[in-house]
Amino acid sequence: MSHVLAAVAWPYANGPRHIGHVSGFGVPSDVFSRYMRMAGHDVLMVSGTDEHGTPIQVQADADGVTPRQLADRYNRVIVEDLHGLGLSYDLFTRTTTRNHYAIVQELFEGLHRNGYIVARTTLGAISPSTGRTLPDRYIEGTCPICGYDGARGDQCDNCGNQLDPEQLVNPRSRINGETPQFVETEHFFLDLPAFAEAIGGWLDRRENWRPNVLKFSRNLLDDLQPRAITRDLEWGVPIPLDGWRDRADKRIYVWFDAVIGYLSASVEWARRTGDPEAWRQWWSADAQGKDALGYYFMGKDNIVFHSVIWPALLLGYSGEGDKAGAPGDLGKLNLPTEVVSSEYLTMEGKKFSSSRRVVIYVRDFLERYDADALRYFIAAAGPESNDTDFTWAEFVRRNNDELVAGWGNLVNRSISMAAKNFGEIPAAGELTDEDRAVLAVAKTGFTTVGELIGKHRQKAAIGEAMRVVAEANKYLSEQAPWKLKSDEDKPRQATVLHVALQVVSDANTLLTPFLPHSAQKVFELLGGVGVHAPMPRIEEVEDLDGGPSYPILTGDYTVGARWESVPLVAGTPLAAPKPVFRKLDPSVVEEELARLGGDES
């Protein structure tokens, strides 16, 4: 058994999240975490809302509220949406807790003490109309390296190179299109070049990473530059140094504090369990965390922060960059085991865009459709290794042809026949070669599907689980238990239905990480009692250090199914089943294309 950290990208709290977001960070991390728990590992799944930075300040001003009020609003919306999807966080928190501030400042001080954070005078981008700092990502222009007209002030997505806003050709504000004014200002910079050798060696030792992640990360090492770690902001974590901590105009930049959230959330989780040091089992690079594995889930636009910048922060705090140094009070910290990046989900051939109404918000989706229908689409057809297009036609097809006609039909007809003819799970008699063959297919699935999920190949994994379903449907059709009506045939009918129900039970376990809501229903239809697929709950909590209260996602995941075939007990009462999935009317769904934003007009 290992201690497995599932570190899930932090959704930004400036609005509700759409299904493209959760296809990258949400559902894949939950499938993995649920499987790893079922397989016996000690999983810690953490994240929260990312709530600092100029975009929050700008939107708060536009809405006539404070940044905290805006963050409060969308923190709650996002918590409720992720709860609706059944994402099994041990702790989903936020970056405005006092615990988070303390951990961020501890890492800043440790890096500064070891010489990896240095002060420099630089040029800052100011909005001429407001006098406020423009964040790097809110400035666009032409890349000076590759000529791409759409590069951001921090990075060119076309060539992958890091940039500073003043390097852009014809820079302009994304907020109002004005040309920013560049003025001298003093800030602290992270000395990224001091980690090039250490990160390069670490990347060379990475095995089984997705090729796009590894290639992109290695390419970034060729031209690492010092990166600004503070900004002229009013909203963010204060700089914990003499002469700086009380300044109202300087804050730690949001990209720095957000990635530290994985660690601060783990510390908060431990404090809330009553064992404040428990987080070290997932984070400590010494013997206490020797069996720990850390997996980071995000969309591809966040790779650089997790494969280069976050490792640099961890190395620098641990005193392991070019300048050496000594670990801080938190000790040496584990680097990621793997950065699991998904590609982009588009919608009807267009990039998701709230402003252009090309968007499907999670909340809108869950008001109309089952959470497992979306989870299934993301797992079976999501952007695991390539950009993927969400279309209503494909969503309806997969729901109706695969979930309803495939899996739902198998559940319904096998349990219906057993309930009608026996009223219980019938006992099996002597097994035939056909019986043993379909049972073997199901049992083999535990190895095949489990290994694929463990390797982050969820498309292939759910495909293998559905292959078990297909084999079971084929078995039922060939054995035709509905034809075995005579007294002489009754023992054979009982055996066929027992075998079919056992395969249904096994397939349900195989599908549990992907479809937890329906898995609980199928478990109960088979006469199961108790929790099969544990669900998260929303709790209102007080800030541990005296700040405002807020909602969290948490849950008890020590209960539920294990990753193994469990023999059914003959004689367990069965009732006529209710449908597990809803068939969708294509004509009704087409109406949603306009209602949920498929039309740019």
**388-446: pLDDT as tens digits:** 999 888 999 999 999 999 999 999 999 999 999 999 999 999 999 999 999 999 999 99
pLDDT at 589 over 70: no
**pLDDT attached to residue 218:** 92
**pLDDT attached to residue 595:** 63
| Residue 374 CA to its chain's centroid (Å) | 14
pLDDT at 507 over 90: yes
Q: How confident is the model at residue 601 (pLDDT cuts 50, 70, 90)?
A: very low
- Backbone Cα Rg of the chain: 26
Average pLDDT of span 304-333? 95
Please report the beta strands in 356-484, taking only residues with DSSP state E, as ranges in sequence order. 388-390
Average pLDDT of span 88-114? 98
Q: Can you read off the two tokens belonging to residue 136?
A: 């790097």
**8-37: pLDDT as tens digits:** 999 999 999 999 999 989 999 999 999 999
What stretches of 356-424 show up as alpha helix (H) in DSSP? Answer: 362-368, 371-381, 392-397, 409-421
Q: How confident is the model at residue 289 (pLDDT cuts 50, 70, 90)?
A: low
Q: How confident is the model at residue 131 (pLDDT cuts 50, 70, 90)?
A: confident
As a 3-state breakdown, the chain gives helix, strand, coil percent values, each rounded to 5, of: 45, 15, 35
CB atoms near residue 79 (< 10 Å): 24
The H or E element containing residue 537 is strand 537-541
Q: How confident is the model at residue 156 (pLDDT cuts 50, 70, 90)?
A: confident
| Residue, of 209 and 98, whose pLDDT is higher | 98
Question: CA 282, CA 22: separation in Å to the nearest integer?
Answer: 24
pLDDT at 549 over 90: yes
pLDDT at 599 over 80: no
Judged by average pLDDT, the poorest of 113-117, 245-249, 291-295, 423-427 is 245-249
Question: CA 366, CA 83: separation in Å to the nearest integer?
Answer: 11
Average pLDDT of span 375-379? 97
pLDDT at 500 over 80: yes
Parallel, antiparallel or unpaired: strands 139-142 and 292-299: unpaired
Q: Can you read off the two tokens belonging to residue 525?
A: 């239809």
Q: How confident is the model at residue 600 (pLDDT cuts 50, 70, 90)?
A: very low
**pLDDT attached to residue 223:** 85
Question: CA 596, CA 591: separation in Å to the nearest integer?
Answer: 9
Parallel, antiparallel or unpaired: strands 345-347 and 338-342: unpaired
Judged by average pLDDT, the poorest of 199-203, 466-470, 588-592 is 588-592
Stated pTM of the model: 0.92
Helix (H/G/I), strand (E/B), else coil: 134: coil
Question: CA 600, CA 339: separation in Å to the nearest integer?
Answer: 35
**pLDDT attached to residue 155:** 79
Parallel, antiparallel or unpaired: strands 251-252 and 230-231: antiparallel
Average pLDDT of span 197-220? 91
Residue with tokens 């949400």: 26
pLDDT at 157 over 90: no
Residue with tokens 């560049």: 182
**pLDDT attached to residue 7:** 98
Residue with tokens 């201690």: 3
**pLDDT attached to residue 291:** 86
**29-45: pLDDT as tens digits:** 999 999 999 999 999 99
**pLDDT attached to residue 590:** 66
**pLDDT attached to residue 468:** 98
Average pLDDT of span 537-548? 97
**pLDDT attached to residue 594:** 60
Average pLDDT of span 271-281? 96
Residue with tokens 């890096």: 111
pLDDT at 214 over 70: yes
φ/ψ (deg, to 5) at 278: -60, -30
pLDDT at 374 over 60: yes
